[in-house]
Amino acid sequence: MDRFVIEGGHRLSGAITPAGNKNAALPLLAAALLTDQQLTLRNLPDIGDVRIKLALLEQLAVHVQRHDANTVTLQALNLSDAVPDVALARRIRTSPLLAGPLLARRSRVTLPRPGGDVIGRRRLDTHFHALSALGAAVEVTPTSYILTCDKLRGADLFLDEMSVTGTEQAIMAAVLAEGQTIIGNAASEPHVQDLCNCLNQMGAKISGIGTNLLEIEGVSSLGGADFTIGPDFMEVGSLIGLAAVTHSELRIVGARPRDHRMSRIAFGRLGVTWRDDGDDIVVPGEQEMRVRDDLHGAIPKIDSAPWPGFNPDLISTALVVATQSRGTVLIHEKMFESRLFFVDRLISMGARIVLCDPHRAVVVGPAQLYGEPEGLPSPDIRAGMALVIAALCAQGRSVIHNIGQIDRGYERIDERLAALGARIERV
C-alpha cells in the first residue's frame, strides 16, 4: 500500500495549475449516456474516481477513447443491458448518477449501492424522489436500486434538500423527458453549472443556470459536444490553505477567482488574503495569520453551507489553517456528522482543538505542529489532503497512509507539490 513520506517546515514557491473539477467530471461522464453521439471532455482530472467511472461506462459498452491523460472521447452508441459491477460501483459515491441517463435510454436500470467517503450518512432520497416525480418506479432493496419507466415526463420539482448530485440526477433525467421540468431548491455550484452548460452544448434547453431555479424543456435527442471542464474548486481552496500555513508565495493559475468570493470571506476570518491577477490567484508569502474577531470581540465562526456559502469540502482545510492562526475560532460542519473525526490526528500533532460534538470544533492557535512518523491514516479525500497540508507545515517527518483516498480526488498531488519545493515522496 502506497504512502506519503513528508518532511515539513519548508517553504514552497512557484506556480501550479489546478486539475479539472472532479465534481464536474463525474456527472459529465454519466451524461455521455444521454446520446449516441461523441462527447469529448477536456481537462478531465486523471484521478481514481474518474478511472473507476470510466471502467463502469466501458462495462455498459460505452466506447472510451483516451487522447491523453486529461482528454477522453466517449460514445454510447449501443448500450448493453449489463448491471454495473458491484465492486466498482461501491468504490465511488457517484455511481447512482448513472440512473437518470440510463432511464432515458432504456426502461429498466439496476444499480448497486454506492461507496465513497465515510464522512457520515449521505442520503440518496433526493435522487429517487426526483426520478419518481419524473415517472420512474423505484424499488429499494438492501443491496441495490431497481428503477423502471416506460417514458420520463417533465414535472414541477421542489427538491427536499439542495443536494448537488440530486440536482444533477434530476437535470440529466429531465433533459430527455417529455415536456417541461422545473427544479426548485436546486444546487448551483460551479460543477452543476458545468454540467448544464455542457448539456446545452449537446442540444438541451436549460435556463436559470447558476440559480436555484432551473427550467428545462425536454428534447427528443441530444447530440455530441466538445467541452472543457473548469478548474477544481476544492483543489484551489486546498492550495490557498497550503500556501498560507507554509508561508509560501504561490500562483494558482486559471483558478477562476469569481468562484472563491465566499472562500475569501471564510479564510479572511483566519487572516488569509490573496490577490486576483486576471484568472489567477496569487497568495503572498508573508501573512499575519490572526483570527479576526466579530464585533465586540465575539469569537467568529466558519461554517459550511450550500453554494454560494462556504463549501463543506473545504472545512477540513480551514480547520488546519485555523491551527496556525492566532486566536480562537469555531468551525461548524453542518452537513456530515463524521467529517471532523480526523481532528484527533491533528491533536496528536500538537494542534489545540476541542471537538465539541460531531459537527463543531473550537480551534485555538497558533500551535506548533510536529510530524507523525508513526503514520497518519487518511480517512477520506478532503481530510487526507488536510493532513498533507498539516504535515507540510509541521516540524519533522510524517507518514500518511491510505493515500488511495487522496488519489481519488487529487491528481498526482505529490509530483505537483514536489515541483513547488515540497519534500514529499510516494513510497
Q: Which residues are annotated as catalytic?
A: 117
Determine the Cα–Cα distance for residues 385 and 242; give it in Å rounded to an integer. Answer: 10
Determine the Cα–Cα distance for residues 228 and 246; give it in Å rounded to an integer. Answer: 32
Query: What burial class does residue 121 get, using C-beta atoms within 10 Å of its C-beta: 0-12 exposed, 13-18 middle, 19+ buried?
Result: exposed
What residues does 7 pair with on adjacent strands? 397, 423
Please state, in angstroms and as integers, the Cα–Cα distance from residue 117 to each residue in 78, 91, 114, 201, following that order: 32, 9, 10, 32
Please state, in angstroms and as integers, the Cα–Cα distance from residue 297 to each residue in 252, 292, 302, 332, following that order: 34, 9, 16, 19
For residue 334, what is its C-alpha cell? 453542518
289, 259 in Cβ contact below 8 A? no
Q: Which residues contact 318 (CB under 8 A, 6 or more apart)?
A: 241, 266, 267, 270, 302, 310, 331
63, 267 in Cβ contact below 8 A? no
For residue 206, what is its C-alpha cell? 436549460
Residue with cell 497518519: 376
